[in-house]
Structure 1
Amino acid sequence: MSASFASALGAAHDAAAAQHYPQGALYVVATPIGNLADITLRALHVLQLADIVACEDTRHTQALLRAYGIDKGGANLLALHQHNEAQAAQQVVAQLQQGRRIAYVSDAGTPGVSDPGARLVDAVQNEGLRCIPLPGASSVTTALSVAGAVAASTEAQGFVFHGFLPTRAGERTNAIQHLAREPRCVVLLEAPHRIQELATALAVLGERRVTLARELTKQFEEVSSHPASELPAWLAGSPQRAKGEFVVLLHPMAAQADAAFGQGEQVLALLLAELPTKAAVRLAAEITGAPRNPLYEAALRMKNG
């Protein structure tokens, strides 16, 4: 155990032990995405308490547990990854039905988002068994929190999680053409050996702002934003910039939406002189690409004015 975590287990017990942890339940536990200090006290307590820890990679998880001073023998670890998730899920269900507490962790972050875990949870819930989430680190929300990429406007509010794009060039190009029409922030993930290819493919988005977040929570963490057209040159500027796992955020199309709405109002004013409100709004939206609901509100203001 690292000396820096010597007091963590005691603190976890003091903070979390008084809570109820039912038997026969699956505990879905988020683990750090890089910095070991990002583990939660409740996660430490549950990992100690669990009869079995199901995990994406038993060697990786064994090392993680030992760093915190948690000793689980090989018999208490169950491999559950993308290649055996359906089969291993049935083993988990059988153990839960015998009243055991099972914690599931992926290699890093929150299971079931981009990592395995979704099919496991589905299998457990289909048997009427309980799944208990233990929130914690996630590369997606970590990157979003420092990118300023989630718009507050009505039309582009929130974000879309897409994950990894297809690796084949043609399929990836088609996916990007589809995402180019998405007005909200889009969250992508990418590996270091493919980030340059992704940046080149995204360059067709021109001035749309893109944030690259790599090595989040680690020593060489870097978050940098650029117009999409400049990404390939920026990455090529230093070999260090292409290292580490990436979260890639396409910012919302705020500027484009504002321009379209301005044109929409101009066209709408002309159409209202000749057509009923609904027909004028529909045509103005079709002609300019501006969102229909704000145009309808603008039409009402024009008529009332």
Structure 2
Amino acid sequence: MVSAAGETRAVHARAPGKINVFLKVGALVDDGYHDLATAYQAVSLYEDVRAWHADDFSVTFGGPIDTSALTVDGSNLAIKAARMLARRTGYRRGVRLHIDKHVPIAGGMGGGSADAAATLIACDELWGTDLPREDLLALAARLGSDVPFAMVGGTAIGSGRGDRLSPALAKGTFQWVLAIAEFGMSTPTVYSELDRHRERHAQDIFFAKTQPSVETNVLQALRAGDPHMLAEALHNDLQAPALHIAPGLGAVLELGEENGALAGIISGSGPTVAFLAPDLDGALELQIALSAARLNVVRATGPVHGARLVNEH
């Protein structure tokens, strides 16, 4: 995109983080993965990606989050997304990306997936490749199981690895307060701990189904837009293994529930703890209480839109 003055202007795209309000993990299957049944909600914590024309592929980071540990080479998911789109469309040049991060890194909220989704949208616009949305979603699914949802946003049911999406009817706005940890957790490590947890407690817990499903009460709560109903239905199979790896998260969950949260849940593979508040006033009070306890907290609402272009004037 070149302005009248001849200078290159950035294309700006934005994609949201997510909370898994429900997550059932199936039994380990032969390919080393688990089938999932999840209810995703996109929340108002966004990744902002700006893209400029370039001869090669590069990425830099900014924003309020410490990004010093992130890779900036070909292993970065945003670079992978740009390269994949270039290969798919036959585009011969590269892109310079700058990402302002607001979603916690390795926090169970799909920040890297949001980066990839926003990069696909931004590069498609910058390069004028005009891929149909279905083709962009197919590329997103190849990049990772949460990337298609970051493209779609809103509220959706995910199956398979989480990448097969069907929209869920959701009414109203849910108020969330997110307690963000000072450390990240590796998703594969948490899944491995889940497998060990199931082996250790094989006599006490039901055998995991190969193909789990989202429970009806979750869908009813979302459809009603009722935070009290949703609080009763929140569930995450990865919570027990995450708490086993990082026991201190248990105290965070208790603190939130003592200070007015309807319920708390570890988001995805953790360690972000998402608290559902009854309303905006309740969310503000909870945010103040958790901040006073020296926790790093942000308020967010959901559902919000998926990856889209942002017009800058």
The TM-score normalised by the length of structure 1 is: 0.28
Of structures 1 and 2, the one scoring higher in RCO (CA 8 A, sep 6+) is 2
| Greater strand share, structure number | 2
The TM-score normalised by the length of structure 2 is: 0.28
Pick the structure with greater CA Rg: 1
